[in-house]
């Protein structure tokens, strides 16, 4: 008799269990957004790092002003992509990067949409790398410029790494300069040259220059990454 009671209870419980689980089948994200944060002067994507570079902020407009933003990182080359977004109307803006505040875009995200932002970086950096006659050494020449005056320029550094995503965080070799005591006009008129030694002959390294102003988020502006196989 006890076995029959257990069997009946089990048969009754099974439909209840499936009914309960059906309530947890929430819709999945069905849209996405991609694009780039672009230097308004040059038309090229703004170089950054990941993480701690540029955040792309999504704010769903239908929920009013109390909704929590959805942030995700841009890639080191200034492009971004998020394939897990719910269809809807959003305010989209790049934030916390080394550039002046950007305009907010209002976007109806349905399917896969592309949005590009034009910004003015605090600094821009041109760089080239050449091998030295000394074994395992390279010369990095660079110049810092800007389109608009911002905070004081406080530092610059040459970075080298065996990893492609070289940055202020990812590097095995670097040469840095404290520029906090140098007038900005002098910095912007200087052609800098630094040497990095101790590199392994026959290996490929990735080089980049970073420079920073005394900005609120302590973010760096970057040159493009240049790769070089060491002779």
DSSP codes, 164-227: SS--SSS-SEEEEEE-TTS-HHHHHT--EEEEE--PPTT-EEEEEEEEEES-TT-PEEEPPPEE
Annotate 106-141 with b (16+ C-beta within 10 A) or e (fewer): ebebeeebebebebbbbbbbebebebeeeebebbbe
**pTM for this model (two decimals):** 0.85
| 231 residues of the chain, pLDDT tens digit each | 444 444 434 444 444 444 444 455 667 888 999 999 999 999 999 999 988 999 999 999 877 667 889 999 999 999 999 999 999 999 999 999 999 999 999 999 999 999 999 999 999 999 999 999 999 999 999 999 999 998 999 999 999 999 999 999 999 999 999 999 999 999 999 999 999 999 999 999 999 999 999 999 999 999 999 999 999
């Amino acid at each position: 008799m006890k076995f029959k009671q257990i069997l009946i209870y089990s048969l009754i419980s099974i439909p209840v269990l499936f009914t309960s689980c059906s309530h947890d089948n929430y819709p999945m994200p069905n849209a996405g957004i991609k694009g780039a944060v672009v230097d308004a002067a040059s038309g090229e994507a703004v170089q950054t790092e990941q993480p701690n570079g540029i955040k792309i902020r999504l704010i769903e407009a239908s929920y009013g002003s109390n909704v929590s933003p959805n942030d995700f990182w841009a890639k080191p080359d200034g492009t971004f992509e998020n394939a897990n977004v719910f269809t809807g109307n959003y305010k989209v803006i790049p934030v916390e990067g080394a550039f002046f505040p950007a305009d907010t875009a209002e976007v109806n995200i349905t399917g896969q949409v592309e949005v590009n932002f034009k910004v003015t970086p605090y600094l821009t950096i041109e760089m080239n790398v050449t091998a030295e006659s000394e074994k395992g050494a390279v010369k990095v020449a660079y110049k810092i410029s800007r389109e608009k005056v911002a905070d004081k320029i406080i530092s610059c550094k040459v970075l080298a790494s065996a990893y492609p995503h070289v940055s202020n965080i990812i590097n095995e070799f670097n040469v840095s300069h404290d520029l906090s005591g140098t007038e900005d006009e002098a910095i912007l008129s200087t052609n800098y040259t630094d040497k990095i030694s101790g590199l392994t002959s026959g290996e490929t390294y990735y080089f980049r220059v970073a420079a920073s102003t005394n900005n609120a988020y302590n973010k760096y502006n970057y040159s493009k990454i240049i790769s070089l196989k060491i002779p």
